[in-house]
């Protein structure tokens, strides 16, 4: 496995083990909505734009995200190189956090957000763009699809569930924010030189 993807997985697992053993969800490191402090005593801090992505609420949550990080991150790190890959992943994580803060502000929610899903969805977008014809298997139902189709379906589902609130407790707009941030980053790199124009 490439070094950055390996390090991210190790860091996520270590954080989960550390804070599951203490019985604390690392409240100051989770992403808290703006203005939450006056209601719950814990508020937003700048470092939360990154630290929330290393926290997970359950073993299943962790396993799903780490499997996706391994599956998509390995291929994308090999394409980008470690430095660009880390920058890309960080941009997706931060853009997902900003999207979640905006939605929470508009909706008036005061619950923390945790999980690497925003970064993972950014990787999913990049995978669909760089490997559009690779087959990706849906979980339910187990149907193999071209990566580009898989990305479009997932993005559409996230948008529908986010708008309708059909799946509560999931930060759908953070997922979409990770994709949007990733897309903007890829477009920026594409305009920066002929190498990136050829790849995307």
CATH number at 43 reads 1.20.1540.10
Closest CA to 105 of 33, 165, 154: 33
Per-residue pLDDT, averaged over 8-23, amounts to 85
Q: In the prediction, which pLDDT does 3 show? A: 96
DSSP tag of 33: P
Q: Which two tokens stand for residue 42?
A: 């814990």
Residue 9 domain boundaries: 3-199
**Residues 66 and 17: beta-carbon distance below 8 Å:** no
Q: In the prediction, which pLDDT does 88 show? A: 98
Distance CA 56, CA 64 (A): 10
**Residues 159 and 172: beta-carbon distance below 8 Å:** yes
* Residue 109 burial class via C-beta count within 10 angstroms: exposed 0-12, middle 13-18, buried 19 and up: middle
Asked whether residue 27 carries a pLDDT value surpassing 80, the answer given is no
Distance CA 53, CA 97 (A): 9
Distance CA 169, CA 182 (A): 23
- Domain total of the chain: 1
Closest CA to 115 of 184, 34, 26, 39: 26
DSSP tag of 46: T
Q: How confident is the model at residue 161 (pLDDT cuts 50, 70, 90)?
A: confident
153 or 193: which carries more pLDDT confidence?
153
Q: How confident is the model at residue 37 (pLDDT cuts 50, 70, 90)?
A: low
Distance CA 102, CA 123 (A): 22
Q: How confident is the model at residue 31 (pLDDT cuts 50, 70, 90)?
A: very high
Strands 135-137 and 144-146: antiparallel
Which helix (H) or strand (E) is 38 found in, with range? helix 37-40
Distance CA 52, CA 66 (A): 15
121 or 169: which carries more pLDDT confidence?
121
Per-residue pLDDT, averaged over 63-79, amounts to 95
Per-residue pLDDT, averaged over 154-172, amounts to 80
């Amino acid at each position: 496995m490439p070094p950055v993807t390996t390090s991210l997985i190790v860091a996520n697992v270590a954080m989960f083990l550390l804070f599951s053993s203490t019985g604390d969800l690392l409240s100051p490191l989770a992403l808290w909505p703006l203005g939450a402090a006056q209601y719950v005593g814990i508020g937003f801090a700048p470092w939360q734009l990154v630290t929330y992505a290393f926290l997970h609420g359950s073993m299943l949550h962790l396993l799903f995200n780490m499997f996706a990080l391994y599956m998509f991150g390995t291929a994308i790190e090999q394409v980008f190189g470690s430095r660009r890959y880390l920058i890309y992943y960080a941009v997706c994580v931060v853009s997902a956090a900003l999207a979640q803060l905006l939605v929470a502000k508009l909706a008036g929610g005061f619950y923390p957000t945790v999980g690497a899903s925003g970064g993972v969805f950014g990787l999913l977008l990049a995978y669909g763009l760089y490997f559009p014809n690779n087959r990706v298997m849906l979980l339910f139902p187990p149907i193999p699809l071209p990566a580009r189709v898989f990305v479009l379906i997932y993005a559409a589902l996230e948008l529908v569930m986010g708008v309708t609130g059909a799946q509560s407790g999931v930060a759908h707009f953070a997922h979409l924010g990770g994709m949007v941030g990733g897309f903007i980053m890829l477009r920026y790199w594409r305009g920066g030189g002929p190498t990136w124009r050829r790849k995307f």
